[in-house]
Structure 1
Amino acid sequence: MFRTVWSKTLRAYRTPLLSWGIGLAFILLATLATFGSTASQMADSMNQLAQTFRFIGDPIALNTATGFATWRSLDLVIPVMLSIWAIMAGTNLIQGEEERTALELLLATSTSRLRLLLEKLYALVLALVIIGVLIGSGAIAGLASAKLDFDAGRALLAGLNVSLLAFFYASLALLFSQLFPGRKVATSWTIGLLALFTLLDSTGRIVQHGEWMQYLSPNYYYSINKPLINTYDNHPLAALLLLIISLLLCTLSAWLFMQRDLGASIFQRLNLHIGTKNSAQSSSEVLAKAWHDSSLRSVGLRTLTALAISISTWLISLILYIAWMISLTPSFLGIMKDLVSKSPTLSQIFNGQNVVTNSGFIGYAVFSFVPLLTVIFVFTLALQWAKDLDNGRLELILSTPQARLRVLGEHITVVLLTSLLTVILIWLSTLVSAQLINIRVDAGKIAAAAFGIWPLELIIVTGVYACAVRLRSSAILTVIALYLAWAYLTEFLRSVLNTPDWLMSLSIFHAYGTPILDGWKWGPNLVMLGVAIVLLLLALFQFKRVDIDRGN
């Protein structure tokens, strides 16, 4: 059906393309439709707020809907979120099929390596362009719903500007995938640079005489263009520079791809030339080495080893984010009190949270976002089980004298223990950070806010395992990603959406509530734990009885 590499690759992107495109478009639409019309009524307060949170972005024309939406959504949130997907797509572009040993089949045809890479890049660029158009369409829909004048061309350019930054990070990820062995290593390095570049851009914006830091970050060359704001003078040369750098990274990646062996990074290829003894190991030596490898002695240990890089990257990132946000509390709390007292309308923006107290500010800055990030983290870990089923990796394991329930149980145990470790580290990092900067918090409510995340994790994790036997990983990704987007946005915008109570009760984030202000609630948490137990039993029952016939 698909006669070209690019069309097959684009087809593989159809689910994330629609999910990310529509999801990010809805965020921009909701920002414009909900808050844009009130921006002019509280211009002074919004300018003070934006100056306080200047690390998010430059406050330009905040008395307009487009200026407010650019500062709140387009300067930081949307580009970072799309860049994360672009990084994963960039590392998967070549290394994904290498790890599945599917690339050899493609290269066995008359398709050259260069053409293969160019067609895959073309599909990725096309997917990013479509996502950019969807984001721009969300801006148009938001402005139209608010009955405000808009320029459709500028709205689409704003979406494409986001796609350009995401393409840069995809190109960087593609380069690292040629330099380092393993897709996860390349992904971790690129996400680390994304965090570094974001920090450089934000720090250069708020530190006196620190503008030079911004010049080192590609985020700066993205953010100095704000097409959505009619009165802003854009800098097309900055976008051109970002595009040229991205193309140079792609060119270097193509050259490296044509030089190296499949299954080996360029560094590994250099090591092979330096020391040939290791490359000449006999099969008995390889088997002896594997036999003494402790990580291969059980499914649980192997799962932990395979996921170690992802787990450590996520946990370190969560701890740093929590520490950073809590460190802002003393300097921002007085300003927040002044702003909220002068403009009650701001309470709508902060979803009614009591942001004028230590606990309220930490609840908004940390525990409004960390539950979503944590759930996404454990979701990616559990989804690896479904991917292993898709790729036929369990047949060999099940051919050994191991019970099915033990194989599944060890994998689930690793993910569940990781989810528990995550909430413990969230709890400890919050308490320690607050202690270090000497602010008073209620330790009991901090514990409730941290450990209240665990039932959310359990529902998503067990839901993945329950669906894995019947559905492919792509279908599970679509269903759960759409549910998480709906559940979070419904709770995040509950004060303006007027969603019926029965529908709100289906959102796990609504069930989570605000425990840092209200304390632990046994009812919702016990219900979520009960649902998770039912899903876990369903997963175990299905895997024990259903044939495994999903291998490619």
Structure 2
Amino acid sequence: MSPAWKISSCATTRAMARPPRRRAMWFKSIYLKTLREFRIAILGWGVGMGLLIYVVLAAVPSLIATPAARASVVSLGGTFAWIAEPIALDTPGGYVTWKYGLTLLIIAIWPLIACSRLLRGEEERGSLDALLSLPRGRVRVVLEKLAAVWTALLGIGLLIALLAFAGGKTASADFGLGDALLFGLNVALICGVFGSIALLLSQFTQERGTASGLTGGLLLVFIVLDMVHRVIPGTEWLSRLSPVYYYNLSKPLVPASSYGVPSSSYGANPGAMLVLLALCVLLSGAAVWLFARRDVGGVVALPSFLRLPERAVQPARALPVNAWSLRSVYTRSLGMIVVPACWWTLVIAGFAAWMVVIVKQIETQMASLYASSPLLKDVITRVGGGDISTNATLLSFLFVFLPLLLMAFAATQANRWSADEEDGRLELVLSTPQPRLRVLLGRFAALTTVTIIIGMLTLAATAVASLATGLQFDWGNLAAATLSIIPLGLLVAAIGYLFSGWLRTAVDTGLLSFLLVIWFFISFIGPGLNWPDATLRLSAFYYYGTPLLHGLPLLDTLGVLAVTVAALAVASVRFVRKDIGR
């Protein structure tokens, strides 16, 4: 036997026998291991959102540099009061709180996804069985995981607070470090509420995707409920049912001490923050209690009056041999998507119709503001003027959320594709005589079909709302505004399929979600900060354009479709050649 072989083998064995101490530290407890999985989310969401606040705060002095500009900003706040209560808009803290306080709720997407798979995701993979085989109780396991989630949320809030404080110093704002920390804490609390809702709902669902989808729908419903009392007088009792209402009551970046008035409209609202904390404890506690008393892999049994009546099944039909959804990969994929697609259609189409109602409600205010605000008058003049253009301009601004919602739906379906591969579900499909390329394209074709249907139903809902309220729009442009969201949804799905060829499900979903947020904020805040056109073109929302005003941007739409085809082609090549699950 060669001496050189012995030396090489022994050296290799010794090197492998010493695992890195730093890596081993993260696996000493369930808490540390779970926190390690959240490290990218903490940095990505914390730094990303914090930089957004920093950039906006630093730019506010230039937006209110003159008395005329200051008056225009204040008048705009009164017109868009249905979005958020306009308080001290002529200050950096007040402007950021009004314009971007509600937008920060996008962060809630991460905890609702993370908490929906905190237990249910591991149950689907079967890893929770192995974890519970160790001498650790169920309650301890879930409490350590929850502690990691809250550490991550507080870390995100801390990063946002520090960057907000730095931006405030740049803009000579009147809030201090303590106010910025309360601002970050308020964001962490509202995110914790939706994470707790997702954790609770996952006790009643067989799949984590169902729990996250339901929680995402509740997030949008609660946002709309919070807006209701600012649109329809006398409905504040209804808005109090929404956690977002209590989130908006706190305005730490507008400290009451700076104005010398003990008003609940200024500063942090301790009562509202305690309500959010109580909701987190109550919902999380209920989820822990239910998890400790149900079977692993099972669901909590609903009361008898909430259960659907069970129908007797004939023995010949006990197995769905002739079911339509089992005839091909395409139909099976449609059957898997149809339930979440119905909920997302309800949310997207309902949101579009609700925005039409909002525009009708503030039509009179817009007319008076058009006559008094030079800033808005300049915008309206550029698009052609007139009452119809005024309504179309406002609705066009609101419709930027439509592609965001459809792209979020596409991201969830891309996540499901990646999860099916990681959890071993695709191995069963590929064990049949199905080419890999047909499996991927069949799955994507089903998603394309559903995306087109969502766009068409959104058009129908918007048209019905327009006729019911009496608003006048160019019907061709209205069709373009609702149907041109379809290519953007397909773009996100194709990119998600592309990422899944190299990345794990958690990283794939996190990166795709963060990409959506970056795109949205480039398009949302870039024009107001006079960013160059080259920067704005980095966002996919740029190519959506303003179809409600100017019709379908044909070249931009074709460009988006070309990128989609290219991404799907690369994803297909990777999927055909790779080892499944790697």
Q: Classify the TM-score, shorter chain.
A: 0.7 to 0.9
Q: Distance in 1 between matches of 2:428 and 2:467?
A: 51
User: Which residue in the other structure is 2:79 paired with?
Assistant: 52
Tell me what 2:391 maps to: 358
Which whole-Å CA distance do the structure 2 matches of 1:287 and 1:109 have between them? 42
Unaligned regions of 5+ residues in structure 2, if any?
1-23, 257-265
Q: Given the alignment of the two structures, is residue 68 of structure 1 paired with residue 100 of structure 2, yes or no?
A: no
Aligned-residue offset at 1:294: 4.4
Work out whether residues 37 and 146 of structure 1, in 8 Å CA contact, stay in contact via their aligned partners in 2: no
Question: Using the alignment, how far apart are the partners of 2:469 and 2:280 within structure 1?
Answer: 41
Amino acid at match of 2:494: T
- Deviation of residue 343 (structure 1)? 3.0
Q: Which sections of structure 1, spanning at least 5 residues, go unmatched?
A: none
1: CA distance between counterparts of 2:301 and 2:199?
Answer: 15
> How many Å separate the matches in 2 of 1:187 and 1:422?
19
1:265 maps to what in 2? 299
Measured after TM superposition, the shift of residue 515 of structure 1 is: 2.2
User: CA 1:330–1:411 in structure 2 vs 1: closer, same or farther (change >3 Å)?
Assistant: same
Structure 2 partner of 1:493: 525
1: CA distance, partners of 2:378 / 2:409: 29
Identify which of 281, 284, 289 aligns with 1:255: 289
1:330 is matched with 360
Contact persistence 2:45–2:107 (CA under 8 A): yes
Q: Against the structure 1 CA distance between its residues 350 and 385, is the aligned structure 2 distance closer, same or farther, given a 3 Å change threshold?
A: farther
Counterpart of 2:580, as a letter, is I
Is 2:166 the counterpart of 1:141? Answer: yes
Displacement of 1:297 in angstroms is 4.2
Q: Secondary structure at the match of 1:179?
A: coil
For residue 107 of structure 1, report the CA deviation from its aligned partner.
0.2
Q: Secondary structure at the match of 2:202?
A: helix
* Residue aligned with 1:267, SS: coil
Which whole-Å CA distance do the structure 1 matches of 2:181 and 2:141 have between them?
30
Equivalent residues of 2:418, 2:497 under 8 A apart: yes
CA deviation map 1:124-149 (0-9, x unaligned)? 11111011112223322332333434
Deviations 1:151-210 (A, max 9, x none): 011011111111112212222222222234433443344344434443443323444333
Task: Say which is worse superposed, 7-16 or 473-482, in terms of deviation.
Answer: 473-482
Q: 1:479 to 1:120 in 2, by over 3 A?
A: closer
Determine the C-alpha separation between the residues in 2 that align with 1:252 and 1:473.
Answer: 28
Query: For residues 193 and 350 of structure 1, do their structure 2 counterparts lie closer, same or farther at Cα, with a shift above 3 Å needed?
Result: farther
For residues 59 and 259 of structure 1, do their structure 2 counterparts lie closer, same or farther at Cα, with a shift above 3 Å needed? same
Counterpart of 2:562 (choices 530, 536, 544) is: 530
CA RMSD, 1 decimal: 3.2
Deviation at 1:349, TM superposition (A): 9.5
Whether the aligned pair in 1 keeps the contact of 2:79 and 2:369 (CA below 8 Å) is: no
CA distance in 1, matches of 2:135, 2:506: 30
User: Do the aligned partners of 1:39 and 1:65 also contact (CA within 8 Å) in 2?
Assistant: no
After TM superposition, the structure 1 = structure 2 runs for residues 274-313 of structure 1, keeping only pairs within 5 Å, are 289=319, 291=321, 293-313=323-343
The partner residue of 2:147 within 95, 111, 122 is: 122
1: distance between equivalents of 2:208 and 2:64? Answer: 44
Over 3 Å counting, the alpha-carbon distance change for 1:461 and 1:5 in structure 2 is same
Query: SS state of the match for residue 136, structure 2?
Result: coil
Amino acid at match of 2:276: L
Distance in structure 2 (CA, Å) of the matches to 1:233 and 1:522: 48
The alignment of Structure 1 onto Structure 2 pairs a total of residues equal to 539
- Partner Cα distance (1:142, 1:150) in 2: 11
Cα contact 2:60–2:171 (8 A) shared by 1: no
Q: Counterpart of 1:389? A: 421
Cα separation, 2, equivalents of 1:90 and 1:395: 27
> Relative to structure 1, is the Cα distance of residues 466 and 239 closer, same or farther in structure 2, using a 3 angstrom cutoff?
closer
2:439 corresponds to = 407
TM-score normalised according to structure 2 size = 0.83
Q: Displacement of 1:446 after TM fit?
A: 1.9
Q: CA deviation at 1:464?
A: 2.5
Contact 1:378 1:457 in 2 (8 A): yes
Alignment CA distance shift 1:208-1:436 (3 Å) = closer
Moved more, 159-168 or 113-122: 159-168
Corresponding residue number in structure 1 for 2:280: 246
Secondary structure of the corresponding residue to residue 580 of structure 2: coil
Q: Highest CA radius of gyration, 1 or 2?
A: 2
| CA gap 1:191/1:477 in 2 versus in 1, 3 angstroms | closer
Please report how far the alpha carbon of residue 466 of structure 1 lies from its aligned counterpart in structure 2 after TM superposition.
Answer: 3.1
C-alpha deviations, 1:382-435, integer Å up to 9, x for none? 232122222222112111122222211210111111222222223332222222
1:246–1:521 CA distance, 2 compared to 1 (3 A): closer
Q: TM-score, normalised by structure 1?
A: 0.88
Aligned residue for 2:157? 132
Rounded Cα–Cα distance in structure 2 between residues aligned with 1:114 and 1:23 = 34
Q: CA contact under 8 A between 1:188 and 1:309: conserved in structure 2?
A: no
**Secondary structure of 2:497's partner?**
helix
Among the aligned pairs, what percent are the same residue? Answer: 36
> Is the 2:359–2:391 contact (alpha carbons within 8 Å) kept by the matching residues of 1?
yes
Find 1:520's aligned residue among 552, 562, 565: 552
**Cα distance change on mapping 1:176 and 1:479 into 2, 3 Å:** closer
SS of 1:58 mapped into structure 2: coil
Partner amino acid, structure 1, of 2:79 = T
Kindly provide the amino acid, as one letter, of the partner of residue 81 in structure 2. Answer: R
The superposition leaves residues 315-371 of structure 1 with CA deviations (integer Å, 9 ceiling, x where unpaired) of 1111111111111223323423433443334579999777952221211122x2212
Q: Cα offset for 1:438?
A: 1.7
- 1:226 and 1:352 map into 2 onto residues whose CA distance is 35
SS of the aligned residue for 1:228 comes to coil
Contact 1:36 1:69 in 2 (8 A): no
Aligned residue type for 1:254: V
State how far apart, in whole Å, the 1-side matches of 2:223 and 2:532 are.
Answer: 38
Could you tell me whether the CA contact under 8 Å between 1:181 and 1:268 is conserved in 2? Answer: no
The whole-number CA distance in structure 2 between the counterparts of 1:267 and 1:31 is 48
Contact 1:303 1:411 in 2 (8 A): yes
Q: Closer, same or farther in 2 for the Cα pair 1:123/1:210, shift >3 Å? A: same
Residue 369 of structure 2: aligned partner: 339
In the other structure, the counterpart of 1:237 is: 271
Task: Give the aligned residue type for 2:292.
Answer: M
Q: What's the CA shift for 1:436? A: 1.9
| Whole-angstrom CA distance in 1 between matches of 2:49 and 2:460 | 32
- Deviations along 1:428-466, one digit per CA (max 9) or x if unpaired, are 322222222122211122222233323323332222223
1:219 matched to 2:251: no
Pairing partner for 2:199 from 158, 161, 174: 174
Give yes or no for the alignment of 1:374 onto 2:388.
no
AA matched with 1:536: L
**What SS does structure 1 have at the residue aligned with 2:579?**
coil
- After superposition, the Cα gap between the structure-2 partners of 1:286 and 1:253, relative to the gap in structure 1 and judged at 3 Å, is farther
What does residue 84 of structure 1 align with? Answer: 109
**How far does residue 262 in structure 1 lie from its aligned partner after superposition?**
0.9
> Is 1:186 aligned to 2:211, yes or no?
yes
